[in-house]
Structure 1
Amino acid sequence: MLNDLLNKDRIMLNIVCENWEDAIKTGTKILLNDNCITKNYEEAIINNFKSLGPYMVIAPGIVLAHARPENGVKKLSMSLITLKNPINFGSELNDPVKLIITLAAIDSKTHLEALSQLINLLMNTNDLNIIINAKSKEEVLNIINKYSIT
């Protein structure tokens, strides 16, 4: 369930970051501090951006940061940050970015239900805008709970 992965401890709002790499590190730091991933996982995400380009910018203003499970995922987890000032990630179509979701999947299947719920949320423009402009974690959690249904 999405709300099992995105709780108040894994959400940060209106963060100031210098560049895309700083923004990625902010999202992964939440999971590092929670012992969900290793530093290698963070490095793998950054290296993927550098070598493969901005394919993780999945929609206007949204990054879904991730790497392979074997790159250092300890347990299925997710973090969500919003940026105070949007940042360019190098995506011609979808820059600038204001929302970064970091996904750490342990395999190719266990995260699919939560990812499906997340995609449904991201497709709802009104709910997405509430999250992007949220001033409190409770606002974000209310939206997440709406999509965390079985």
Structure 2
Amino acid sequence: MTESWRMAITATRHCLTGCAIGEITGMVLSTWWGWGNTANIVLSISLAFLFGYLLTYTGVRRMGADNRTAVQAALASDTVSILTMEIVDTLILLVVPGAMDATLTTTLFWWSLAVALAVAFVAAVPVNHWLMERGKGHAVVHKFHQEHAHHH
């Protein structure tokens, strides 16, 4: 496996973590607040973006970037990736019968979420790879990492 594909997988895994945290948090909160499906989807997607960006932002900050660079890197590297995942993920949850009505206590909820995230992961890896080939997406973070590696 080439370095760029490995990077794409790592980038996607990062994203997946953010998405999963966001969606589960969204589900927990919207269930707790008694919200409907639409509000739940909006909340989950917003949180998925938030956590996804946060993970990249934190990682880039740890490499020694300033605030502005870290924000730009997170936006550049994660937007398309999270978007791809959330679209695929939400579509699957809408397509699977009863998945949207399944609550946290049902096996169907966790099963459909796991399947949705797995498919979303597979869908997002080539997207991330394609972006990197063009020097966009996570290549931004990677480039930054290489430039600053010699400082430490």
TM superposition score category, shorter chain reference: 0.3 to 0.5
TM value normalised by structure 1: 0.34
Pair member with larger Rg: 2
Which structure shows the bigger proportion of residues in helix conformation? 2
User: As a proportion of its length, which structure holds more strand?
Assistant: 1
TM-score by length of 2: 0.33
